Amino acid sequence: MTEAPLIEFRKVSKFYGRGEATIRALDHIDLSIRTGEFVAIMGPSGSGKSTAMNILGCLDTPSSGDYAFQGVSTSGFGREQLTLLRRHMLGFVFQGFNLLARTSAVENVELPLVYRGMDTKQRRELAMHALEQVGLKGREGHTTQELSGGQQQRVAIARAIVTSPAVLLADEPTGNLDTRTSIEIMDLITGLNRDHGITVIMVTHEEDIAAHAKRLLRFTDGHLVSDDVQEKEVAHVL
């Protein structure tokens, strides 16, 4: 018996505007992603990759078609249901880190658990463990201003995984980092996928970063134009 997809787009389209001014950001996209995959999404500006990512992250909804998560259609979900799905099943990593300034690393990581209403002791334990997972043990009390760009992105990743999400959504996770730090961050994300089974979906415009993924999706003008399995081994330079 074949395992059902974790994520599925069924003829998903997204339109902006009306009449002749309509922009077709996504056009009847069929796509499925299984648990444990590491998928990179690429495409030029305006290709639809960011729109697809927003729908995957329940930050936007299709104009037509259906987005199913764990076999359940989200078409009838209201704002509260989509928020709960994001909160309990998805973790987000962004190019700009999106950390709270003048706030310690551990407090930043705890934030998603605060939204869940978790008690102080339990969320502190989970946040400390997440920071240890990303190699920041001993840096828990440092504020964002006291951390390098790479360390800040590690805090952001710890914040994303502290809730044990089914999916990690990474939007240009190395966009603000130098080459060496980018490799370190990609090694970390690859390890979370390989060793902890977290499904990773990553948008990037860099071919060398996309090469870390096992599957590459390319979008052009709102269409999914290629879907390729990647077997290439990426060199680790630390």
> In Å, what is the CA distance from 98 to each residue of 55, 79, 206, 226?
20, 22, 21, 31
Minimum mean pLDDT range among 72-76, 102-106, 125-129, 231-235: 231-235
Distance between CA atoms of residues 133 and 153, nearest Å: 13
- The backbone region for 58, taken as left when phi is positive above 0, alpha when psi lies in -120 to 50, beta otherwise, is left
Q: Report which of 57, 53, 54, 55 is spatially closest to residue 65, judged by C-alpha positions.
A: 55
Give the Cα separation of 30 and 20 in Å (integer).
25
Q: For 186-223, what is each residue's pLDDT tens digit? A: 999 999 999 999 999 999 999 999 999 999 999 999 99
Domains and CATH numbers, the chain: 7-229 (3.40.50.300)
Pairing of strands 7-16, 23-33: antiparallel
What are 42's two structure tokens? 């690429």
User: Cα separation of 86 and 21, whole Å?
Assistant: 32
Which of 130, 96, 94, 95 shows the shortest CA–CA distance to 111?
130
Counting Cβ atoms within 10 Å, is residue 223 exposed (0-12), middle (13-18) or buried (19+)?
middle
Q: What are 43-58's pLDDT values in tens digits? A: 999 999 999 999 999 9
- pLDDT tops 50 at residue 61: yes
Contact assessment for residue 89 and residue 69, using Cβ atoms and an 8 Å cutoff: yes
**CA–CA distance, 197 with 229 (Å, rounded to integer):** 18
Please count the residues of the chain.
Answer: 238
Element (H, E) at 124: helix 120-133
Closest CA to 88 of 63, 68, 58, 66: 58
- Mean pLDDT, the chain, rounded, equals 93
CA distances from residue 207 to 106, 137, 226 in whole angstroms, order as listed:
33, 31, 15
Distance CA 173, CA 81 (A): 27
Asked if 95 and 152 touch (Cβ cutoff 8 Å), the reply is no
pLDDT value of residue 238: 40
pLDDT greater than 70 at residue 1: no
**pLDDT tens digit string along 120-147?**
999 999 999 999 999 999 999 999 999 9
CA-nearest of 223, 177, 182, 174 to 202 is 174
